[in-house]
Structure 1
Amino acid sequence: MTMHIEEPVSRSSGGTSSYWPDVGASLVVFLVALPLCVGIAVASGVPAELGIITGIVGGIVVGLLPGSSLQVSGPAAGLTVLVADTVAAHGLAALGVIVLGAGLLQILMGLLRLGRWFRAISPSVVQGMLAGIGLVLVLSQLYPFAGRAAPATTAEKVAGLPGLVVGAVTSPAAIGVGLLTLAVAALWKRSRLRAVPGVLVAVVVASAVGLLLPLQRIEVGPLTDVVALVDLSVLDAGLIGAIVTFALVASAESLFSAAAVDRMHSGPRTRYNQELVAQGVGNAVCGVLGSLPMTAVIVRSSANVQAGARTKASRVLHGVWLLVFVVALPGVLAYVPLAALAAVLLQAGWKLLEPRRVAELVRTDRAESAVLLLTAGLIITTDLLTGTLAGLLAAVVKTAWDVSRLSVSVTPDGQEHEHVTLRGNATFLRLPRLLEALESLPVTKHVRVDLSGLRHLDQACHQAIEHWADAHRTAGRTVDLIRPSAG
């Protein structure tokens, strides 16, 4: 594996100013990552601190490795169900073994150069993936934004929205702080001090105002209380399936995310095999520490790009901020209201959703929009991997249908002759139309079928034409087949 150190994209002649965009972006990503790390850990049924550990490893360890420059790694919402089921079935002690094994398998897959196969992904699938994740994020953060605990399932979240509105009216403190956060962030963009991230300013202001109000705040204990080195004695044959599943799901999520993030910026492209190795190293470290599995996370990655990051320094620094604040300054986090962080995530989710682009695609291309809506809908109702794979399958079917353009023209040539010309691609998808045209020919003594205009003739259509010609000859008529050239 070739190690590659990327130079900063900035053309500045020197000084700390050239690195300030990465410092500012890292603070934004830190603010986005912190509630995600805590929330995903709680949703997975493990201590919140384990999510923080995975976020730190994703930033510092994976951030330093080659592969991607702007993609950010950490615990992912797409793995919460797998983690919860695994912990319930095998216990928390087995989680470290499974994550370590999955990481080693990812490293092997990367060294075998399997990562490049994940580059084949349709833009409509990518946009559907972003829209689905954005909507899931918005739904999940509306509740802490209003000072309420979020329900477990998407259906429960949607069903609880009317009650959430009523509760927000009767208890407006949390939603007031959330709206203040959004307002300050929006107004700061118009100020002359835009070098300081508006999200950071908004959270500081909201935290200061929140000191006067009874609000829910972040609660994180010492990391040393939950760190438990992996116990290989619990490894048995029953965990092998879980290891393979974790490795495949984490790899798919990370590399699909890479394809989406690469479309957001014009910087260096992701080197997929190296990124897969980097993800494997990160998961191996997380497994040794007994923490949650990691993937590249599209929410943090998009926040990183949108905040103006230029090099991998931003993602490394975000891991440093997580470590510093949780280890050295845990008391500072206790002043940050959950409603303020929920507002930050709502803004990130809305940017991922991009309703204008979705509406525009629906108006201009119904087939592509169907793939997008299918992908997003399944991500919302099931999980990220299921939705993305279904979207990819739908995109493949759509492409196969689009390229199966077949023109069948029948021209009479005298009273007893018919000339049939085929052009385009004769695939099994167009077989019904082809057979209908051949079988509807008038009863004549001679038929000439010109196949020379076909760009592709698959086995199904070839056999159908041969069988039809044999039947026609058996009936006492003649058939000439002008076959496609060998090229």
Structure 2
Amino acid sequence: MQLIKNWKKDLPASLVVFFVALPLCLGIALASGAPLFSGLIAGIIGGIVVGAISKSPIGVSGPAAGLTAIVLTAITDLGGYEIFLVAVVLAGVLQIIMGILKAGVIGYYFPSSVIKGMLCAIGIIIFFKQIPLALGMTGEMESDRFSIGEFHESISYSVILISIVSLGILLLWDNVLAKKNNFFKLVPGPLVAVVVGIIIYVVFGNSGQLELTQSQLVNVPIPTDFDSFISNFTLPDFSGLTNKAVYVTALTIAIVASLETLLCVEATDKLDPLKRQTPTSFELIAQGVGNSLSGLIGGLPLTQVIVRSSANVMSGGVSKLSTILHGALLLLSVILIPRILNLIPLAVLASVLLIIGYKLANPKRFVEMWKLGKEQFVPFIVTVVAIVVFDLLVGIIAGLVVGIIVLLLKSYTNSHQMLIKEYMGEKNLYHMNLAEEVTFVNRGSIVKELDGLPNNSYLELDFRRNRILDYDILEYLDEFSVKAKNNNINIKLISEKGTIDNPNSFREFFGHKIFKMGH
């Protein structure tokens, strides 16, 4: 009963996710060089199986665009799709093992700025990739600087009309109608846009007034009977277990898919209005089960996917019922109504994704990150640019590296506080308060500060707030104490252990094996 508690919100959301997932499943399979039906298998398993097992309330799993390059290369290198499926099964097993070993905690170590940058970058990519579909563009331009005539020939005004009508419905539904009547909240705008798109195509397409090619429509396999439906499933060739390359591919898929899933979990939890936290290690187990099953029946590898998950959140999804229902709708649609699905203009689906992409990469997010300061904005913008220019993994790694550098620079300057005191007629009395944690990263700033002290001065080194002190710092202070005697600099060491003037050895005072200080 708990699962169906929020069905009024989850059902409309599942329809939106279904219409978003359908073309993505087919498109990712096509880009991966795999059978088209393999993308649908992964989408169905990601919805029904992973959705049922996972404890993520709003995350949606399916074939991931971030794995297309790996899949495309692996199918060729391994010598066939059936052998590649063995790697998918093994990758799932590895993910289950990773989950049991609690490897999901890795996801907690990615900065918030990198996660937000990933969301914005994916939004930008989604938005701009839909523009050709929304314009009905076919073929490639002959040059980077194409003429107006070439542009005119490459677009379809029939598709543009459908795109305009679809965007109008979606914007009107979301910004006006849904705020005036609960009926418009129950019936999702994307469903209305899809129905209107089909009607426009059926009415005007058959009369010849609307020109759409087959490539501008959804294209799913149409089974004629049970046997033809079953023939779309592919079994793995387990003779590939003797091939070392299969294990390398499996390890690669497991690592990349797990990383993408963990980042998506973090991002989706941030989008969740209820701010629920997904147990990440258990999510790896759920993904592992899904991947192993997908590989066993001919499906692509899957991950939790931010496009579907964000569509779920932004459409009002509350529980994993919407995820499971979207998988069930994918299954029923390819069995019962494939011919109707093939009447949907891609321009309608592109319009739905344009809205989602804009919401993810809303310009307000960039302004918000700028206002938070350089420590947040720099890793954020580096992540955005790197993902858009290169790919998801490169962008995440770049953002993480920059985030670590920013953290180190901040830590470099936060190791201590130097005060200049003036009393008893002495003008060269310096008091340095050491921070709670001082590591080798802070050595440079401390060296710069102490090496700049004038001769014949007095220095108080206050360790009373310090709790963690690296051996590297103690070693340098011993070196500095020698220099201090030569320059007539008097040192007073102040700590919770006591006070001592001109210590012979800081390491002996604190204990050369003691790096954690305090009580």
Task: Give the TM-score normalised by the residue count of structure 1.
Answer: 0.89
User: What SS does the corresponding residue of 1:263 show, helix, strand or coil?
Assistant: helix
Asked if 1 retains the 8 angstrom alpha-carbon contact of 2:41 and 2:298, the reply is: no
What's the counterpart of residue 316 of structure 1? 324
Aligned residue pairs, count: 470
Deviation string 1:93-115 (CA, Å, 9 cap, x unpaired) is 22201110000111111112221
Separation (CA, whole Å) in 2 of partners of 1:130 and 1:161: 32
Contact 2:411/2:442 (<8 A) preserved: no
**Does the 8 A contact of 1:426 with 1:458 survive in 2?**
yes
What's the secondary structure of 2:430's corresponding residue? Answer: strand
**Partner residue in 2 for 1:232:** 238
Farther off after superposition, 372-381 or 216-225: 216-225
Letter aligned with residue 130 of structure 2: Q
What is the aligned partner in structure 2 of residue 97 from structure 1? 86
Partner SS, residue 271 of structure 2: coil
For 2:455 and 2:360, the matched residues in 1 are separated by 61
Partner residue in 2 for 1:55: 43
Report which stretch shifted further, 164-173 or 298-307: 164-173
User: In structure 2, what is the equivalent of residue 13 of structure 1?
Assistant: none
Between the aligned partners of 1:183 and 1:451, the Cα distance in structure 2 is 65
Q: Is the 8 A contact 2:434 2:461 kept in 1?
A: no
Q: Which of the residues 361, 365, 383 maps onto 1:357? A: 365
Trace 1:240-389 onto structure 2 (pairs within 5 A): 240-265=247-272, 266=274, 268-389=276-397
1:469 pairs with 2:481 = yes
Provide the identity percentage. Answer: 35
Which ranges of structure 2 fall in alignment gaps of 5 or more residues?
205-209, 224-228, 498-516
CA drift of 1:477 comes to 6.1
8 Å contact from structure 1 (residues 423, 455) kept in 2: no
Using the alignment, how far apart are the partners of 1:337 and 1:453 within structure 2?
A: 66
Distance 2:129 2:139 in 1: 6
Residue 460 (1) aligns with residue 472 (2): yes
Asked if 1:83 corresponds to 2:56, the answer is no
Q: Deviations over 1:397-445 (max 9, x none)?
A: 3334434512123446766964342343544444333222222222227
- Matches of 2:471 and 2:147, distance apart in 1: 57
Q: Aligned AA for 1:229?
A: L
Distance 2:65 2:457 in 1: 68
1:132 maps to: 121
2:485 and 2:275 mapped to 1: Cα distance?
64
**Alpha-carbon distance in structure 1 between the residues aligned to 2:311 and 2:484:** 66
Equivalent of 1:143 in 123, 127, 132: 132
Query: Whole-Å Cα distance in 2 between the matches of residues 108 and 164 of structure 1?
Result: 57
Aligned-partner Cα distance in 2 for 1:7–1:160: 57
- 1:121 offset after TM fit, Å? 2.9
Quote the offset at 1:305 in angstroms: 1.3
Segment of structure 1 superposing worse, 87-96 or 127-136? 87-96
Conserved? CA contact 1:129–1:376, under 8 Å: yes
Cα 1:273/1:415, change in 2 over 3 Å: closer
The 1-side partners of 2:372 and 2:15 are apart by 38
**3-state DSSP of counterpart to 1:229:** coil
Mapped partners of 2:480, 2:372: distance in 1: 41
| Partner SS state of residue 227, structure 1 | coil
Counterparts of 2:458 and 2:323, CA distance in 1 = 73
Following superposition, the deviation at residue 260 of structure 1 comes to 1.1
SS of the residue corresponding to residue 230 of structure 1 reads coil
Question: SS where residue 118 of structure 1 aligns?
Answer: helix
Deviations 1:7-63 (A, max 9, x none): 2484xxxxxxx5222111111100000111111111111122211111011111111
Cα deviation code 1:328-349 (max 9, x no counterpart): 2110111101111111111111
Q: Is 1:180 the counterpart of 2:165 in the alignment?
A: yes
Distance 1:471 1:201 in 2: 79
State the distance in 1 between where 2:20 and 2:271 align. 18
Displacement of 1:177 after TM fit?
0.8
Alpha-carbon contact 1:416-1:446 (below 8 Å) kept: no
Aligned to 1:201: 192
Q: How far did residue 322 of structure 1 move?
A: 0.7
Question: Out of 439, 442, 446, which is 2:454 matched to?
Answer: 442
Q: Equivalents in 1 of 2:139, 2:110: separation in Å?
A: 33
Instruction: Report the AA paired with residue 195 of structure 2.
Output: V
CA positional deviation for 1:484: 6.2
Gap change, CA 1:438 and 1:103, over 3 Å in 2: same
What residue in structure 2 maps to residue 37 of structure 1? Answer: 25
Identify the residue that residue 419 of structure 1 maps to in structure 2: 430
User: Which of these residues, 4, 7, 26, is aligned with residue 2 of structure 2?
Assistant: 7
SS at match of 1:301: helix
Give the TM-score taking structure 2 as reference length.
0.83
8 Å CA contact retained: 1:111, 1:277: yes
Question: Which residue of the partner structure matches residue 3 of structure 1?
Answer: none
Q: How far apart are 1:143 and its partner, in Å?
A: 1.2
Specify the code of the residue in structure 1 equivalent to 2:267: A
Q: Secondary structure at the match of 1:452?
A: coil
Letter paired with 2:418: V
Structure with larger Rg: 2
Q: Distance in 2 between matches of 1:301 and 1:370?
A: 26
Q: What is the CA–CA distance in structure 2 between the aligned matches of 1:258 and 1:395, rounded to whole Å?
A: 20
**Structure 1 gap ranges (5+):** 1-5, 11-17
Letter in 1 for 2:218: I
Q: Aligned partner of 1:204: which letter?
A: V
Partner of 1:214: 211
With over 3 angstroms needed to count, the CA separation of the structure-2 counterparts of 1:373 and 1:447, relative to structure 1, is: closer
1:460-484 Cα shifts (integer Å, max 9, x gaps): 3332222111233356765443356
CA distance in 2, matches of 1:361, 1:60: 37
Q: Distance in 2 between matches of 1:407 and 1:49?
A: 64
Q: Distance in 1 between matches of 2:495 and 2:149?
A: 68
2:417 aligned to which of 400, 407, 423: 407
Contact 2:55–2:279 under 8 Å retained in 1: yes
Q: Is the 8 A contact 2:201 2:345 kept in 1?
A: yes
Aligned-pair CA distance for 1:380: 1.5
In structure 2, C-alpha distance between the alignment counterparts of 1:163 and 1:137, rounded to whole Å: 25
* Larger CA deviation: 253-262 vs 164-173: 164-173
Alpha carbons 2:137, 2:156 under 8 Å: kept: no
| Corresponding letter in the other structure for 1:33 | A
Superposition deviation, residue 361 in structure 1: 1.7
Distance of aligned partners of 1:432 and 1:202 in 2 relative to their CA distance in 1, 3 Å threshold: same
